[in-house]
Structure 1
Amino acid sequence: MALWSGRFTENVSEFTQRFGASLPVDKALYAQDIAGSKAHAAMLAKAGVIAQADADAIAGGLGRVQERIEAGEFAFDINDEDIHMSVERALIADVGDAGARLHTGRSRNDQVATDTRLFAKQRCSDLMAANVALRQALVKQAEAHPDVIMPGYTHLQHAQPVLFAHHMLAYVWMLARDFGRLAAARRAADASPLGAAALAGTTYPLDRQMTAESLGFSRVIPNSLDAVSDRDFLLDLSYACSVSCMHLSRLCEEIVLWSTAEFDFIGLSDAFSTGSSIMPQKKNPDFAELIRGKTGRVVGDLVALLVTMKALPLAYNKDLQEDKEGAIDAAKTLEDCLVCAAGMIETMAVKPESMRAQAKKGYLAATDVADYLAKKGMPFRRAHEVVGHLVLLCEQRGCDLDDLALADFQAESDLFEADITSALDLDAIVAARTTEGGTGYAAVAEQLALAKQVLADDEAAV
């Protein structure tokens, strides 16, 4: 019979026992469960609810249970239903009645909420560290290639030339926002529900501040109903994971494109590529594709939890047993994706010649030619039209703008002078983007310094 079976005359069937058990999932939270129990026992003893000798026996017994679990010597039994009962049963078997006093003033409702919050806090910290590592890899690539010019795109069509470093830093800033979301999720989880009991608090003189401080929580949740039923912090974590995976998917989509023969912008390390079972020449960006694909399951984890929570009345409901598996999966999946992406970025070979060759295609100087006319007094809309005619002329001749003669330019406008050729130089086009956040050499250097400072601050905050 279960530990809660006093009111029942028969046990649940084997099927329903397995159907209702959360142990296969929540046994991953054994360390958090044991930490929470140690803190609760110490507080009970200080409050005079249990004897200090019992608290000491409980602490020793819990330590031995943890050692057995970590040594692989602990036999988890599905009949224990969840990690709380599994640990408690082993504790009672070890220390007897002292172990049976551990649950005084506590419910599995506030216990599981405590375990889950401790877990979420730790996983947020892990993910923040992995986020920093990927940003460091992107920054290193930007620093290593300060002068490499590539085509910038809109609608996946050649638009304007940009620095490769500028492109890398765009992802650094995306990931910096992801770091902020993970930090916010960690702050949301950093509140103790322990002492809320089942839903209404308890008649025992519990010191919730003491257990909160002992477990490293910054505050106590002020409402006992909210304490046991709130899973917003897991939604925050799942959302942060989903957005971060979406950003990684965008990055990996570009890695996939850039590694094709058509682009040939980068070469992936063999360590982050695979071959074909039938085509000997293939070198596939499988791991970039996997990261792109795993985004779907992480978003699914978020949606599943949202749907689980959407109609739950206060306070605890068994539905909440479904809160952990998705969050655990989302955090693990994102961490793996961040580690894999960092390895890919750190080891990829950049091909400056291929990037520059593509930057010379697609009339990327067109906007600068229009700006040339606008700076000489022509209304920009008229300048836009003039340059459109020049592009059409190039298409008809099968050439680029820098292949046109000065006479071709002057046939469209007498504002063109011999210095128009300077507006067609890739390096000059890039260098002219001097606005804050632009792709000019000086602007990118300033941006890089700022990104490194933010990165250092975030690394210190992990």
Structure 2
Amino acid sequence: MGKLWGGRFAKTTDKLVEDFHSSIHFDQRLYRQDILGSIAHATMLGEQGIITPAEADQIIAGLKELLAEIEAGKVQFDVAAEDIHMNIEKLLTEKIGAVGKKLHTARSRNDQVALDIRLYLREEIGQVKHLLLELIETLLELAQQHTETVMPGYTHLQRAQPITLAHHLLAYIAMFQRDVERLQDVLKRVNVCPLGSGALAGTTFPLNRERVAELLDFPAITMNSLDAVSDRDFAIEFCAAASLLMMHLSRFSEEIILWSSSEFAFIELDDAFSTGSSIMPQKKNPDVAELVRGKTGRVYGDLMALLTVMKGLPLAYNKDMQEDKEALFDAIDTVKGCLLVFTPMLATMKVREDNMRKAAQGGFTNATDLADYLAKKGVPFREAHEIVGKAVLYCVEQGKALEEVTLEEYRQMSPVFAEDLYEAISIDYCVQARQVPGGPAPAAVRIALQQVEKWLAASRQ
């Protein structure tokens, strides 16, 4: 069978060009979306009298049969047919005869591929969102177990102030909540039906575009045929949202890697989510977290690839745009793969609460609280800051912690110090006193966790 577009050509396509030009080896994953879109298109053609109802029924029956055969693994796609769209049409025509050639009436591969990608991405966004919600639920459960687990908070990777593990985990929950919301926002622009835009200028056939949109569960249709076939903003936007999501996973991975090291020893990863060394018998490596951190660069690259492909293209469709799929598919696959393994890694890790607390008690994490103590007694904060800075220097020189300095020693630094300073700088008090909304105090954290529970319930509806 010759090319479906071969009427204009006197020569056959060179084999090198055929292989270079073909996209079937990667766009075949769109087979279901292509068939569902074609069923909706054929239904509308029959209803509009563009083809007869009997022809429409024959095409639809053939497409459904073909879908079942593909899913049963009975179909071999042909590189010579170039892409999934022409493969489906070729296979349909072989199955039902010449009537199959009427399927492409009032349609171009340009609006067809735009439809298929939107249908595919719409489904994948739903799956990524589901995986994200599973991750957030796992983090929520972990945080609920550790509202009283004290650990150091860091700035510049230096111990800064005492917080709780639950508070730390809530920071990542907040990041992943934003990722869910971004995906929902991207979906608004994905969920628009471009079919009926033709190659670039619509068609003279009396199409009912709204009917196709209804059949495919699109809430709206595109309103400019040029833009509809040449727009890939929605794919770029997804890759941007995916890049932010991967950045959040990568930051978390970095902390998992640090925390699982002997230097921190805050957690121990489950054996099922760790690997060993081929030469060093003692090693237990956080390879899952390291791979997630590394794969983040792939998704960034996918985003940059799409931006670069699109940056110089005139309207409307150009063959460059065939390069959109591999980048988009890779971003989707990478994000889903990372989420699938990241969540159970967190769910199975062991928290070393004793080591976290011990670390929070070192590094003068209660120094700010000592300065606040003076400020609450009327000392201007800048003066209080200087006094406590000198107290810390004294402790460094004497090898003491702030709570080990005697009251007499403190009074030499400032007469404002009194016996109640020791309560003010106890690690537990330092955490519990930070009850501002969004703070690390167990009471504030529990309120935040309740809000996450409500958000999760609403997001699953």
Query: Same fold judged by TM-score > 0.5?
Result: yes
Map of 1:269 onto structure 2: 270
Distance 2:460 2:372 in 1: 42
Q: CA deviation at 1:220?
A: 0.4
1:369 pairs with 2:363: no
In 2, Cα distance between equivalents of 1:389 and 1:408: 12
Does structure 1 residue 74 correspond to structure 2 residue 60?
A: no
Q: Which residue of 2 aligns with 1:353?
A: 354
Question: 1:366 corresponds to which letter in structure 2?
Answer: A
Name the residue aligned to 2:152: 151
SS at match of 2:34: helix
Give the secondary-structure state (helix, strand or coil) at the position aligned to 1:150: strand
The one-letter code sitting in structure 1 at the alignment partner of 2:297 is: G
Q: CA deviation at 1:378?
A: 0.6
Per-residue Cα deviation, 1:179-221 (whole angstroms, up to 9, x for no partner) = 0111111111100000001100101000000001101111000
Question: For residue 101 of structure 1, what is the aligned residue in structure 2?
Answer: 102
Counterpart for residue 323 of structure 1 = 324
Q: Counterpart of 1:161 in 2: which secondary structure? A: strand
Hey, what does 1:446 align to over in structure 2?
447
In the alignment, the residues of structure 1 paired with residue 427 and residue 361 of structure 2 have an alpha-carbon distance, to the nearest angstrom, of 8
Which residue number corresponds to residue 398 of structure 2? 397
Q: Which whole-Å CA distance do the structure 1 matches of 2:187 and 2:330 have between them?
A: 17
TM-aligned CA deviation for residue 22 of structure 1? 1.1
Q: Distance in 1 between matches of 2:263 and 2:76?
A: 56
Partner SS, residue 159 of structure 1: strand
* Separation in structure 2 between the aligned mates of residue 229 and residue 290 of structure 1, nearest angstrom: 35
Which residue is equivalent to 2:228?
227
2:33 alignment counterpart: 32
Letter in 2 for 1:124: I
CA–CA separation in structure 2 for the residues paired with 1:448 and 1:70: 43
Residue 136 of structure 1 corresponds to 137
Q: How far apart, CA to CA, are the structure 2 residues paired with 1:28 and 1:428?
A: 57
Question: Secondary structure at the residue paired with 1:313?
Answer: coil
Separation in 1, partners of 2:339, 2:299: 13
Q: Which residue of 1 aligns with 2:63?
A: 62
Q: Which amino acid aligns with 1:420?
A: L
Q: Secondary structure in 2 aligned to 1:153?
A: strand
- Is 1:11 aligned to residue 24 of structure 2? no
Distance 1:324 1:270 in 2: 37
1:101-146 Cα distance to aligned partner (Å, 9 max, x none):
0000000000000000001100100000000000011001001112
Task: State the secondary structure of the residue aligned to 2:161.
Answer: strand
Is the aligned partner of 1:312 residue 2:317? no
- Aligned-residue RMSD, C-alpha: 0.7
Q: How many pairs align?
A: 460
For 1:166 and 1:189, the matched residues in 2 are separated by 35
Deviations 1:43-86 (A, max 9, x none): 00000000111111111111121112111110111001000000
Deviates more, 1:252-261 or 1:336-345: 336-345
> How far, CA to CA, are the matches of 1:29 and 1:184 in structure 2?
23
1:294 equivalent in structure 2? 295
Provide the C-alpha distance between the structure 2 equivalents of 1:83 and 1:163, rounded to a whole number of angstroms. Answer: 53
The equivalent residue for 1:120 is 121
Structure 1 residues without counterparts, runs of 5 or longer: none
CA displacement 1:144-182 (0-9 Å, x = unmatched): 112100000000000000010000111001000000111
Percent identity for Structure 1 against Structure 2: 50
Distance in 2, Cα, partners of 1:375 & 1:192: 62
Distance in 1 separating the partners of 2:61 and 2:449: 52
Counterparts of 2:188 and 2:25 in 1: how far apart (Å)?
A: 28
Aligned to 2:201: 200
Deviation per residue, 1:306-346 (Å, 9 max, x gap): 00010111111111101111111101110111111111111
- SS of residue in 2 equivalent to 1:291: helix
Distance 2:224 2:204 in 1: 15
Per the alignment, residue 239 of structure 1 pairs with: 240
Structure 2 unmatched ranges of 5 or more: none
What SS does the aligned partner of 2:437 have?
Answer: coil
- Aligned counterparts of 1:458 and 1:166: Cα–Cα separation in 2: 22
Which secondary structure does the structure 2 equivalent of 1:418 belong to? coil
Q: Which amino acid aligns with 1:294?
A: K
C-alpha distance in 2 between matches for 1:418 and 1:399: 18
Q: Deviations over 1:248-305 (max 9, x none)?
A: 0000100000001111111111111001101111110000000000000001000000
Structure 2 residue matching 1:9: 3-state secondary structure: coil
TM-score (norm 2): 0.99
- Name the structure 1 match of 2:90: 89
SS at match of 1:433: coil
Q: Does 1:410 align with 2:411?
A: yes
Give the Cα separation in 1 of the matches to 2:410 and 2:335: 53
The aligned amino acid for 2:334 is T
